[in-house]
A and B are shown apart, each in its own frame.
Chain A
């Protein structure tokens, strides 16, 4: 087990290095000058040259990459070009917002989608199944930003129950913070519930057709016991993979949703950095996102044997 973890962690190093090279090369190949974006159209050429030198953008690209890589390897992601803040501190600060929303929403989605998916499997091709499938399809078809805007319209504007803009950290004021994150959590949970219901249902139906399920039924096991004891554990592996992918994708930043709800999350940090060509922040966020993917994949792999004894880590 220890060796397996070690091997996986060692494999992650070339992946992250590759990401670093790709991110740096692609980023510098797109046009756009951070100095010009900072100074605007009224900047003189002298001012531009000076700012470029100050930001280290006058160095040749391999030198810039080398300097950045040495920094990253020593745990320093550099400083933001736009506001001079340390990139790591910015990422940690913004990630907390995204983490709370994404983890709560995905947990909520899991809690709803597993029973809903199993019920749909149990009542396959009957009215309840069709209703669940229709709702799930509707939820996953609706763009998150649209759903978010509609919820804002209803609960923020029409009913005036919840604030429309702003953010308060839960650690500062739990009650106020809850009011600000409720709608983004509900929006994200609704969308992801649709995806997960479909997944739970389809993988459960597959397992339901296997012989050992028929055997369990023949032994006289009730339908609930069959579903929970025999179907769910054996069909959970693909759902787990999907949860891992969803978490990896969303923790990297739900930029559109964060923009709609004016949340200072990781996604918005990345989008703002792209618009202002804030290279250190873009590079830092992308490396961080890649690391999240690697970690989540690792955790998912470790979880497989818990649900499926046939899977061995060695």
Chain B
């Protein structure tokens, strides 16, 4: 057979060249790229742009936050700390913030960072033509207006507000705002259009092949903060030469790539995908509790659900523990509070929740005159956790006598219904909010003006507004505790758990850690 093959190859030139191609194709190892100190990370979809906080989604933020940094950033426990700033001084009236910049910071193009650069970047952010998504938080439509940004000296920038805003620094640090990242003016072309980020982050922009990958390069001139790794601030060092974010929509392909050493990191893998990876020596699994919140939204204006007794019956009739265990394979804990369990404001009162009581639930239903009318629970199959949540709720509610019917939509349609408040019950997941005020605000508000809000209790709306203007930590804790107690009474939403982020990491990799802020951090990560 071997002789025959050899003869065939030597007598047939085209065949010979094909055979050579096939043989050499087999000899190239897919780990070749990894050996060049390139870290490959999965992205489920392509990024939208490289313009911080403008045309973005979670994928975009994950990439952009490796290139740009703001004056402040999020700590590991989701509190706010200085990033490009060395010190932050607040005036006694809470209307002026002075940021002293750290010394020696340079942009990716080698230019030093100055107060003028901060002023220039912020003027662009505050210009409506920039389409910055967080503009409304600072131009008067939010709590307070920025009435001035000026450079006091080469290293000091002053922000003036029209009134105090306890959330000023938090809003600045939001990942979806691009962390209000400071970039050099060369990021903008001569035509005024965005080119690429020339920031101060540990990685610099290298190449973006749309639909395929975006590649970042180690920034040799990066000046790290001292200390330990701490959220999006703290010590940062680019240990790999290049990072390639690869667009791999299919989870099976991503798993195959990880197991065949064609990929080093799959962030945020679904619980249902874990089965194949557990026990694989080439892969480490790491889980971390995030500030994202999953739960059931109840439409308080629905003819049936406007009766609080029915809403309370649902909350008491379904066992949160069973649902959360079922959805997350017992990886997550029940949290009936809007305040994330990772937050410093997650007090003993926030830990209290719904205690399953079937007898009481049945009694409430009877009092409300519920006769088994159908209640529609809207969900989708794009996010398995939401579908599982709906399925388990339906099954548990049936035991109390509540007749729930599932309505499975595509995600875009469900989101549309959510924004219009067009549902009875909806299985939903909110992205992480950095501050409890924002966590409560995400579902609290007047329904007439904002139909997507599910809780329009005037007292709750007032408490949320007060919490946004209060800087005193003790007072804020009291406000959040009062809001939580009221939430358990009104049941406009049944908060169930804070999402678990599961990361699948190649065992060849060292130093990667997930954190409550969700976005992957690829600094301080190295190959073994």
A residues near B, CB below 8 A? 30-33, 36-48, 50-51, 54, 82-85, 90, 93-94, 149, 152-153, 156-157, 159-167, 175, 178-179, 182, 259-262, 264, 268-269, 272, 275-277
Contact = CB atoms under 8 A, between A and B. Distances in A.
A40 B431 contact: yes
B30 A36 contact: no
A44 B177 CA distance: 13
B211 A164 contact: no
Contact of A46 (B141, B209, B433): B141
A47 B29 CA distance: 48
A262 B413 contact: no
Given A82-B55, A160-B260, A37 B250 contact: no
B289 interface: no
A276 B248 CA distance: 16
Contact of B55 (A50, A83, A90, A160): A83
B256 A153 contact: yes
Contact of A264 (B57, B210, B257): B210
B50 to A, nearest CB: 10
Contact of A157 (B49, B136, B260): B260
Given A40-B176, A42-B176, A163 B30 contact: yes
Contacts of B127: none
Interface stretch (B4-12, B20-28, B233-241, B463-471): B20-28
A211 B421 CA distance: 72
B433 A42 contact: yes
Contacts of B49: 83-84
Contact of A156 (B58, B131, B260): B260
Nearest to B42: A165
A149 B252 contact: yes
Contact of A159 (B26, B210, B248, B416): B26
A44 B412 contact: no
Interface string B242-282: 00001111101110110110110000000000000000000
Contacts of A164: 30, 253, 256-257, 260, 262-263
A207 B525 CA distance: 68
7 contacts: A32-B416, A38-B57, A43-B133, A93-B210, A165-B253, A259-B253, A268-B211
Interface of B: 21, 25-26, 28-30, 45-46, 48-49, 55, 57-58, 131, 133, 136, 141, 176, 209-213, 246-250, 252-254, 256-257, 259-260, 262-263, 410-413, 415-419, 428, 430-431, 433, 442, 449-450
Contact of A31 (B25, B29, B413): B413
Contacts of A44: 136, 141
A32 B417 CA distance: 8
B243 to A, nearest CB: 15
A157 B57 contact: no
Nearest to B432: A42
Given A84-B55, A272-B46, A275-B411, A152 B416 contact: no
A85 B176 CA distance: 21
Nearest to B30: A163
Given A31-B417, A182-B25, A264-B212, A157 B259 contact: yes
Contacts of A166: 212-213, 246, 262
A268 B25 contact: no
Contacts of B263: 164-165
Contacts of A46: 136, 141
Given A166-B213, A182-B25, A268-B211, A262 B48 contact: no
A39 B25 CA distance: 44
A41 B256 contact: no
B257 A165 contact: yes
B48 A83 contact: yes
